[in-house]
Structure 1
Amino acid sequence: GGDNKEVLEGKSIISIRKGGIGVSLRSKAPILDENNHVIGIVSVGYLKSHIDNLNARTLTQIIGSIVLLLIALFVFSWLLSKNLKRQMFWLEPKEIALLVRQQKALLEAIYEGVIAIDPQLRIITINHAARELLDLHQPAASLLGRPIGDVIQAQPDFFAAAQLGQDTHDEVCRFNHVRVIASRVRIMQEQELQGWVISFRDKNDINTLSSQLSQVKRYADNLRIMRHEQLNWTATLAGLLHMQRYDEAIRYVEAQSEGAQEILDFISQRFSSAALCGLLLGKYSSAREKGIELRFDPACQLRQIPAALNETELMSIVGNLLDNAVEATLHRPAPHDAIELYISDGSDELVIEVADRGTGIAEEIRDTLFEQGVTTKADKSDHGIGLHLVASHVAQAHGSIEVSDNEPHGAIFSIFIPK
């Protein structure tokens, strides 16, 4: 083959040579005896065409594998991108960044306190209003990740596991000795709980506005009732005078004046709160206009409102109980029985008792009577709040409520609030 010279000298070689059957890649090595003398040659070779075929087949397999790998990577990337976009609600990165900035601006702009917590009850978001309302001086970053129970002491336990299973709205409670009205809403994603959002606002601010609105409403109601009664009174008096029955006219005027003055004197002398006196006079006139007598117990007295209860809350309790009693009484056929009211702080607790002889309390709602939204009225949109507020105010004042049946029908609500 012309390439044996180096092999005969004892060297191994690899060469490409053209032989009788074509160009081939050959490897040759000497065969040595015990004296290291070359006694033969071993030669192994492959045709270059065969090697080219092997290379082409191997390259084809490699290219095919690369193509399949690229296709698999493309499909995987497409599926991953689709899954990520679905989790990001099909938003682009710029849109997500804009939403985050908008969320931060919104949280800091709203007046209500807002706190978001994860399923482990750790804080994930808290805005400036929440820190200000709760008198938290730490920056928001230092509060993130902390258990909500370490930051807020809630009464009643707003974050108890038994209550977290359902949303709640406008619940009166106490956060860090601040009375607030709070709502709690679950964060759900594909039927999985991701956490909760708690929003709350200072109850005193709402009380102030509510008190002002209530005063305006009471003034308007009282003026309307007084105008209605005055028209009836004037018409009656005019009729008596027209018939020249002057003695009866004089007795009628005296009777009307005496009755109004008696109830006014009783209320103003027995109750120290001017706002409560106004409320009771308004409720008395309103009930009278509907054909119901509001009867005050002779032992009524209120010298001082308990420290755990403010004037607005006391008026809310009394007003809602009287409204419920009037509503229940109106469901009975006329003539209507009187509603009896007893308010006294003569012992070591404030006692408020309202008794009516109306329709009573249905058995199906007796156990849930004080839950928000529970009502016997057909139109539930604007009802089911009064007794819930009463129960919330009483619970905040560490008081108790007793409900019993009246005889022969109706209900008695008794409230006890320690001084």
Structure 2
Amino acid sequence: MKLLRRLKLKSRMILVLGLMALVQTGFIGLFAVHYLHQSLDEQIGQRALDVAKTIAATPQIIAAVQRRDSEYLQPISMRLAEETQARFVVIGDKDGVRLAHPRPEKIGHSMSDDEGDDNSPALVDGKGYLSKALGSMGWSMRGKTPIFSNETGEIVGLVSVGYHLDHVDQIIQRYSITLVAVIIASFLLSALIAVWFAHHFKQAIFGLEPEQIARLFDEQKATLESVREGIIAINAQGRITTFNRPAIETLGLPEDIELTGRHITEVLPESAMMEVLNTGEPQFDEEVWRQDHSIIANRLPLKQGEKITGVVSSFRRKDEVAMVSKKLTRIQQYADSLRSQSHEYSNKLHTIAGLIQIGATDEALALIGQESQSHQELINLLVSAVPDPILAGCLLGKYNRAREMGLQLEIDPESKMSALPEKLPREDLVSIIGNLIDNALEATWEHSGTGGKVTLSMTDLGRDLIFEIEDQGPGVEEQNQDKIFEKGFSSKEKEGHGFGLHLVKSLLGSIGGMVTCESAESGGSRFIVYIPKNQA
């Protein structure tokens, strides 16, 4: 077994199939030889018995046996043996004493002495029978039958006709050589078929060994269960072949359901996997509603050459994708804020250091005081108007970002945002306001250059939280004021734009809010955000 495992799959298949063919043909050959031998024995024995019965029914033979006339019977028996091609014809009386025999010296002796057979079935029971025994003439197949008197019907003697088995052995030997040749030819043919089949089988499994297939299966199973995305695969008939635990959880199916072998339309009647199976066209980032949540799905056809053999689909809840986007956006905002502050304070420190080196200490102190006063005023405004530290920190970071760009972020001193609901996700709010301010700063800087201004006004009066962000950019054409919130739409030709405002609208939709865009008096754009205080 160890040696067999060391061989390649192709070699193993050739060896096993070849040995199987050898054993099968060998078994069939032995059975054929045995059956032929037995059939020939029976045919020769039946012929011997028929000849014996014919001789026993001859009136001259019956009369000579009754007279015990060996001189008459001896030459007749020799002639009959020659005519019937028998090995011998032996005639005996009712006591089993030979009256005719190919060897004259045996005449007068009992037939049972050296013929190795019991004559009682013929002499006592009066029945003809066959026997295979070693007698005085060697191994022979014999047919023995009693001789009945024509007058009384009594048994008066018996006739034994024998045929040598040398002829049978010659026939068996001749057929055995033929069978051996057939066995060898069958083995060679089976070996060729085994080579072809093994080669075809290896191609079907991409040249992999059984151990490699088992390892890949274990790896695939572990991989499917380790990924967080749901995965379902179907075959060419639309029946499920592969699925993982996240697929059941994402689709909200029962935990104990068995999906393997079921048609995809039985589990997911509205699935588009059958469409991909029929058309062969992949589908990416398709949004599908399942019960009370949205799913982002990708579907790819599986192909062997040009033939489609199945479809695999991976999917994930949209809120998880949105959560990842929000986290990335928030991290980017934090990084921008830190970079802005670092860059701004680095410039201010270099300026102060230069003033001190040239002896302009009064100017250095005035700059320090001015910087402290402007920051302190902003901090005081944020502390009084925006008690929430997360939103206040976001606005402070955007203020520093604007100053780094040579712009001014002006917060309306009449702003008030102290009634933020506890259920309102702070990361959503930061992503919404941060994206809108970033867009406003970029639009203002590209259109007006340094010295431009972005204004922010906030109010929590009434049932909604309202944020107004106005820039000094080129503005948005009226026919595009609704399209700018669509995914991928952007007025800029550079790649990578067209996703920030789409994310803003998506986040507002998840918390029941809305955003509008209109033209500002300054020529730029004004974005107004409405967020209901009553969060479900």
Normalization by structure 2: what TM-score? 0.48
Once residues 520 and 311 of structure 2 are traced to their aligned partners in structure 1, the CA distance between those partners, rounded to angstroms, is 46
Q: What is aligned with 2:500? A: 386
Once residues 200 and 103 of structure 1 are traced to their aligned partners in structure 2, the CA distance between those partners, rounded to angstroms, is 19
Q: CA deviation at 1:293?
A: 0.9
Once residues 335 and 455 of structure 2 are traced to their aligned partners in structure 1, the CA distance between those partners, rounded to angstroms, is 25
Q: CA deviation at 1:356?
A: 1.0
Q: Deviations over 1:129-155 (max 9, x none)?
A: 133356644334269557699899xxx
Change (3 A) 1:243 1:146: closer
Change (3 A) 1:336 1:235: closer
Q: Is the 8 A contact 1:402 1:414 kept in 2?
A: yes
Tell me whether 1:350 sits opposite 2:465 in the alignment.
Answer: yes
Once residues 526 and 282 of structure 2 are traced to their aligned partners in structure 1, the CA distance between those partners, rounded to angstroms, is 31
**Sequence identity, in percent?**
30
**Correspondence 1:297-316 to 2 at 5 A:** 297=412, 298-305=414-421, 307=423, 309-316=424-431
Q: What is aligned with 2:134? A: none
**Correspondence 1:13-412 to 2 at 5 A:** 91=204, 106-115=223-232, 126-133=243-250, 136-141=253-258, 145=263, 167=283, 169=285, 182-185=296-299, 187=301, 197-201=313-317, 203=319, 207=323, 211=327, 214-215=330-331, 220-242=335-357, 244-297=359-412, 298-305=414-421, 307=423, 309-362=424-477, 366-380=481-495, 382-412=496-526
SS of the residue corresponding to residue 531 of structure 2 reads strand
Cα RMSD over matched residues?
A: 4.7
Q: AA paired with 1:197?
A: S
Q: Is the 8 A contact 2:240 2:259 kept in 1?
A: no
Q: What is aligned with 1:70? A: none
Q: AA paired with 1:385?
A: F
Q: Is the 8 A contact 1:123 1:147 kept in 2?
A: no
Change (3 A) 1:285 1:376: same
Change (3 A) 1:232 1:290: same
Of 390, 404, 413 in structure 1, the residue corresponding to residue 527 of structure 2 is 413
Q: CA deviation at 1:415?
A: 2.0
Q: AA paired with 2:415?
A: A
Once residues 443 and 325 of structure 2 are traced to their aligned partners in structure 1, the CA distance between those partners, rounded to angstroms, is 29
Q: Deviations over 1:292-318 (max 9, x none)?
A: 1111122231432473x4111111111
Aligned length: 320
Q: Specify the structure having the higher radius of gyration (Cα).
A: 2
Q: AA paired with 2:258?
A: A
Once residues 312 and 211 of structure 1 are traced to their aligned partners in structure 2, the CA distance between those partners, rounded to angstroms, is 8
Once residues 348 and 246 of structure 1 are traced to their aligned partners in structure 2, the CA distance between those partners, rounded to angstroms, is 53
Gaps of 5+ in 2: 1-199, 276-280
Once residues 444 and 322 of structure 2 are traced to their aligned partners in structure 1, the CA distance between those partners, rounded to angstroms, is 31
Q: AA paired with 2:501?
A: L
Q: Is the 8 A contact 2:409 2:456 kept in 1?
A: yes
Q: AA paired with 2:506?
A: S
SS of the residue corresponding to residue 265 of structure 1 reads helix
Q: Is the 8 A contact 1:306 1:350 kept in 2?
A: no
Q: Is the 8 A contact 1:403 1:411 kept in 2?
A: yes
Q: Is the 8 A contact 1:272 1:304 kept in 2?
A: no
Q: Deviations over 1:25-74 (max 9, x none)?
A: xxxxxxxxxxxxxxxxxxxxxxxxxxxxxxxxxxxxxxxxxxxxxxxxxx
Q: Is the 8 A contact 1:357 1:407 kept in 2?
A: no
SS of the residue corresponding to residue 369 of structure 1 reads helix
Q: CA deviation at 1:286?
A: 0.7
Q: Is the 8 A contact 1:306 1:417 kept in 2?
A: no
Once residues 430 and 223 of structure 2 are traced to their aligned partners in structure 1, the CA distance between those partners, rounded to angstroms, is 36
Q: AA paired with 2:245?
A: H
Q: What is aligned with 2:120? A: none
More helix by share: 2
Q: Is the 8 A contact 1:339 1:355 kept in 2?
A: yes
Q: CA deviation at 1:197?
A: 2.9
Q: AA paired with 2:231?
A: V
Change (3 A) 1:285 1:136: same
SS of the residue corresponding to residue 490 of structure 2 reads coil
Q: CA deviation at 1:332?
A: 0.7
Change (3 A) 1:249 1:102: closer
Q: Deviations over 1:175-232 (max 9, x none)?
A: 655687x23446598899x8883511574697479648845x5555444333333333
Q: AA paired with 2:435?
A: N
Q: Is the 8 A contact 2:233 2:240 kept in 1?
A: yes
Once residues 268 and 372 of structure 1 are traced to their aligned partners in structure 2, the CA distance between those partners, rounded to angstroms, is 36
Q: Is the 8 A contact 1:291 1:336 kept in 2?
A: yes
Once residues 101 and 392 of structure 1 are traced to their aligned partners in structure 2, the CA distance between those partners, rounded to angstroms, is 40
Once residues 342 and 357 of structure 1 are traced to their aligned partners in structure 2, the CA distance between those partners, rounded to angstroms, is 15
Q: Is the 8 A contact 2:293 2:317 kept in 1?
A: no
Q: AA paired with 2:229?
A: E
Change (3 A) 1:300 1:91: farther
Q: CA deviation at 1:328?
A: 1.1
Once residues 123 and 305 of structure 1 are traced to their aligned partners in structure 2, the CA distance between those partners, rounded to angstroms, is 46
Q: CA deviation at 1:256?
A: 1.2
Q: CA deviation at 1:326?
A: 1.4
Once residues 149 and 396 of structure 1 are traced to their aligned partners in structure 2, the CA distance between those partners, rounded to angstroms, is 28
